[in-house]
Structures are given as C-alpha cells and as structure tokens.
Chain A
C-alpha cells in the first residue's frame, strides 16, 4: 500500500495546472483578442517612420548649358551638450583619450571659428545646440572624420551659384528659408521648384527598414531646369570690363547690354557693382537688383537716333537735309529757356548726318521741329518708351514718360535729345535693336524656356516683330550712325578694327535729387551696332555719374572691348564693304 493519497495529490496538482492554464489562456485571450487592436496600434506607432524625401530645385543654365545655379546639400553641425565628453581613439595601436579641449580646437579649425566660440556652443546640459549652419560637403566630411560621437548633422538642400557674381543680379537668390528673392529664381519659381515626397515604413530598433513592412511612398518630384539666353563667358568678360572702368571713372555704376539683333535675345545683361548670389548680404541693396531692367534715367543724346529715324520715316528730312546749328538756341514757347551744345562753337552748316555726328542739340531741335510733338511721342512709344517689356522681369521699370499732352514748351523740344523722360538700359538697347533690325521691333528674350519632366526644352513662345519704321528709314539711320563712328570726335574711339560699326554717343544730365535741378554729373553712354552692313549685335553701355571723364569718351572704350569680344566669340566675319558716302556738312 502506498503512503498518502496519490489520487488526491493528483487531483490537486491537476487543479493547479488547470488554473495556471486557464490564467494563461485568459491572458492570451485578453492580449490577442480584447486588446489586440490597441496593442497593434501602439506597436505600429513605435515602429512606423515617416520621412520626407527632399526634391532638388531645378538648375539655371546659360545659353551654352553652363550651370549658373544649382542645388547642393549643406549641413548643419549640431551637438548634444549633455553628452560632451572626451573620446577614445586608437593611435598606432595604442588607445588614447582625446580631451574635449583638443576636440574643440580641431572643430574650431575646420569650421573657421575660435575655440572659445565652439566651447560656448557645446557648454550646458541640453540635448541640442547648433554649432554652425550650412557648411559645405568638404567641411562636413572633415568634421565627420574626427569621429566625435556627440556631434550630429542635419542635411538640407541649399543653392549654390558656381560662377559667383556672373549674372548675379539677373539670377536672384534664395533666402535662408529657401524662398526665392528677385530675378529668375523668383520669376520662374513654378518651373524651378520641386515637390518633396514622403516615405513611410516600419523600422527595427536599429533603424533598419523591416522587410515586407507597409511602405507608402510619394515620390519626390525634382524641379525643372531653366535655360537663359545669357552667354556666361561673355557676361563675365563684360562684368570684368565694367568693374575695371567703374573704378577708373569713379562712377556709381555701369551697365552693358548685348542684344542679338535678329532674335531679340539678351546675350549679356552685365553691371558693376553687382551681387554674388552666394552671399547676397555682402552686397548693398541697390546691387541686389538688376539695374539693366530696373534703373530708369534720362537717356540723353542716344535718343537723337530715334528722332532722326522719325524725321526720315515721316519724310520730313533726309540724311543730307541741311541746317545751321548755332551753339545756343532759345526754345520757341519755352519761356526763354536756352539750350546749348556741349561745346562752344560758331554756327555750323550741318546736315542731319552731321547733327548726329557732332551730337548737336540745337541742330536736332531745329530739324525735329518739322514733326509735331504727338507724332514724335507716338514714335517714342512705338520704340518702347514708357512701358515695360514683355519680359516681366521682377522689379522691371517702365520708365517715366508723361503723355505728350502734358509736355510743356520745353519738353516738346528737349525730348528730341533724350530729356524729359526716363528709360532703362534695356529699353534703350531695344530701341537700337529696332533700327538695326530693318525697322522691326522684337520683344527681348531672356529665357529660352523651361524643361519638361523628361528634360526636353519647352521653348517660350515669341511674338512676331512689329514694324516701327520703314526698312529704308532704318537703313538710312544706320548709314548716318556709321558716320558717328567714322568721323565723330568721340565716336571714333568706338571703332572696332576690321568692322563697320554704327552708333551714337550720349552724355545725359542727371537731376540732383536734393535740388530737383540738373547737377554736374552725367550718365555717359554709347550704343552701337555691328557689322553695320548687316547688323548682328547691339551693345549698349552706360556709366552712371562718371566723375573722372564726364562725356562719352568714358563709355566708348567699354563698348569697343565688349563689341570686339562679341564679334570674336561668334566668329563674325570682318566687313569687306565700305560705308555709304553721305555729306555731314554743307557750304
């Protein structure tokens, strides 16, 4: 017989097992059934990761495909001050401890900061502090190689302009928040801007994406590229020449615009001083805007070409029409207002061609009087005065032009030589484009087009040209302007060896803002076209408030250098014909 009661022990044991089993089954039921939804949700929340897929902004390219603006990644160097401590490194097989002070010196040296600045940033007990924002890849790589575990890095998309200030004021820039400011960056935001995507997946504790986990992805859509008509090399050359001459002339600023006559394309829109869009804050406010498009001023004698063209088109004069041009002339109905020529001279027997050659104010007024004010005003408007171009460049100025009904007795006459209204450097260049293009005005073109999603260039639509003056009037005007360069006292300095060049000087008075009267500083200009027998390019140069040379002698060397470079760049064959023989004086 066995001791105890085995059957009873068995029953008790069985009951215990059953209770435990029931407990487990109950708990299983609770977890797997009753709380399943909540637990799944909580688990998913801790496993799920949603991250943005940054899209790259489109590039801005010049006419040859050279990149003027592109997106790169820059890095913010951050620190967790609470974790700052010496680090262990193995040097030549020996474990050494590198103290924080040494690490601070190394970081400071790479980031171009002082050790004290870095030390101040890493002090404290917080989990986050920023040491430096927006460092480039090379600097980031150098910092990472230090192997400092308490440094963290945030990557962000940033804009870089590899050519620096070349066409800087045309390109515009992005502010630290990535918003465009001015120029093409702003105007073509819709084309350039990409669309960030998102990606959601489940991660393990060590941040590895769990295979077969649910992945929701909205693809990032990169921005599209914009192609400009600007030639970056020519633009650079022009900016070099302008920078040197602004210093020599002690001028406030200077611009050079190059237009392709038969297409209206803007090949150069240069100015000095200008902005490096990589560091826009280093430039003054005025240089962050494009003076070529935005600065309007009284153009002066360059407008005499338009007045002459008007006379020819209205059949009120020919290139050989004769006039006696005095040194000074009292404007009829001008309340005694007297206009003089730029230099003292006895009355001269000039033709219309001679008036342009010598840039005689009295001569152009006496001849221009043959056309009524309204007609002259209408021609100036058709040439582009008083209205913005079709470019719609951000901040573009229309210039100031009073309707002819509001012209007083003085403005009716002084408008013939470019006083009483204001235009931008671009507007003046396009006036000469019209003359050079056989009298047909084209819209200026700055952007060739924007690429589509497949990288194909979608060219911007262009309108047909508008005839402003007859072809024969344009030809005759060109012939007269060629004499300015052939024979003019100042115009000769604009001659380009080997080529027939036509052009006009301009020395425009500038109103003193304080007094409202004309001051003693001038906007000196030269606008020319070459080759005169079949004009391909217009180059328009202005130096504003030139102080060392106060006439167009300061502008013609700039014109000559730029026009020579343009003709050389595009391999324009030198002229083989001679100019037309037109009398400039009479007996």
Chain B
C-alpha cells in the first residue's frame, strides 16, 4: 500500500539553503540508546520464542514418553504374569510329576556343629512317593513349563539301576532339561 500524502502538495520554490549544523553528541547518544533498546527487545523476543518452542516440544516429548511408559508397563505386566505362572506351585508340581520326580520320604539331617547325622539315608525309589500332579486350581496360570530333553521314563529307568547305598547311581547321559525360566 503506498503512503497517502495527507498534505496537499505544495508548490515548492527552491528552499532557502539551510546551514549545515553538526549533530550534538547527546542526540547521537540518544539514537544509540534507542538502537540498543530495540535490538535488545528483538533479541529477548527471539529468545522467548525459542524457549516457548522448546517447552512446547518438551510437552510433546513428555506425551510420547508417557505413551512409551504405558506400553512398557503393559509389557512388564505380561512378563510378570508369565513369571508368576511359571514359578507357581501348580506349575512346579505338574512339571515335577511330568519328570517323574519322587519325593524323598526319608530325609536325613546333618548337624554341622558336631557333624552328627540323624537318620539312615535311603534311596527314594518308591514310586508311591511320586510327586502328584497339581490338584489346586488357579485361573491365573497363563503359562506352563515346556519340558524337553530327557523323558520321565528314561529318568526313572536310570535311577532304578541303583542297587543300594554306597553303589554309584548311573545317571542318564542325556542332558537334563533346561528350565525355561533359566
């Protein structure tokens, strides 16, 4: 938009020459101060704008982090449920039963202070002592151990070769199944 002249153009006769005057030092300082103020104001505004942008961006970063936190919380809960299931008594009992484990009905105690042994050790070969499958319900059981490697019959067969105390027991040469929970 072009500037509007608010005054009527005057027929200008050649103006009277004005004598040159030197600008006074105080007026010069005034201009300088004004420029400094203007520049400072401009810089402040730019800095404020920059800070505002940063803070706004941080707000979005915060939102993204919160979403990530929610995701991780969900994952932590999923893993937690798996750990609870695998470490539950129900899963352990089922796993022990599947592996053909036999409860030791004849524990022998060693008193360390005087190295005294209480009881007579006996191999736990009685299949009546076989660990029972779980009978205690749990709807929270979402995961079960997957047993691979040596089968239960192979384990029982090898242990049954032991003929009594003092004789070496022939253990299976197959690897013992690695616990899925490590």
Contacts and interface: CB of A to CB of B under 8 A. Distances in A.
Count class of interface residues, chain B: 35 or more
A211 B107 contact: no
Interface stretch (A29-37, A159-167, A389-397): A159-167
Nearest to B5: A10
B88 A163 contact: yes
B63 A571 contact: no
Contact of A7 (B8, B63, B109): B8
Contacts of A140: 74
A341 interface: no
A239 interface: yes
Interface of A: 6-7, 10, 13, 67, 72-73, 136-138, 140-141, 160-166, 207-212, 232-233, 236, 239-240, 243-244, 276, 278-279, 282, 497-498, 564, 568, 571, 573-574, 576
Given A137-B74, A573-B111, 15 more contacts: A72-B77, A73-B74, A136-B142, A141-B75, A161-B140, A163-B88, A164-B137, A164-B141, A165-B138, A166-B138, A211-B59, A240-B93, A244-B135, A276-B139, A573-B118
Contact of B138 (A164, A568, A571): A164
A573 B136 contact: no
Contact of A162 (B55, B58, B84, B135): B84
B137 A276 contact: yes
Interface in B55-90: 55-56, 58-60, 62-63, 73-75, 77-78, 80-81, 84-85, 88-90
A164 B59 contact: no
Contacts of B75: 137, 141
B76 to A, nearest CB: 9
Interface of B: 4, 6, 8, 55-56, 58-60, 62-63, 73-75, 77-78, 80-81, 84-85, 88-90, 93, 105-107, 109, 111, 118-119, 132, 134-142
A209 B63 contact: yes
Given A140-B74, A236-B89, A498-B118, A278 B63 contact: no
A210 B63 CA distance: 11
A232 B78 CA distance: 23
Contacts of B85: 162
Contacts of A239: 135-136
Contacts of B105: 564
A480 B38 CA distance: 106
A211 B55 CA distance: 7
Contacts of A212: 55
A141 B139 CA distance: 19
Contacts of B4: 10, 13
A574 B109 contact: yes
Top 7 A-B residue pairs of the complex, sorted by shortest distance between their CB atoms? A164-B138, A278-B139, A162-B84, A236-B89, A243-B135, A137-B77, A211-B55
A498 B122 CA distance: 14
Contact of B81 (A6, A138, A163, A164): A138
11 contacts: A160-B81, A163-B89, A164-B140, A165-B138, A166-B136, A208-B62, A211-B56, A236-B93, A279-B139, A498-B119, A571-B109
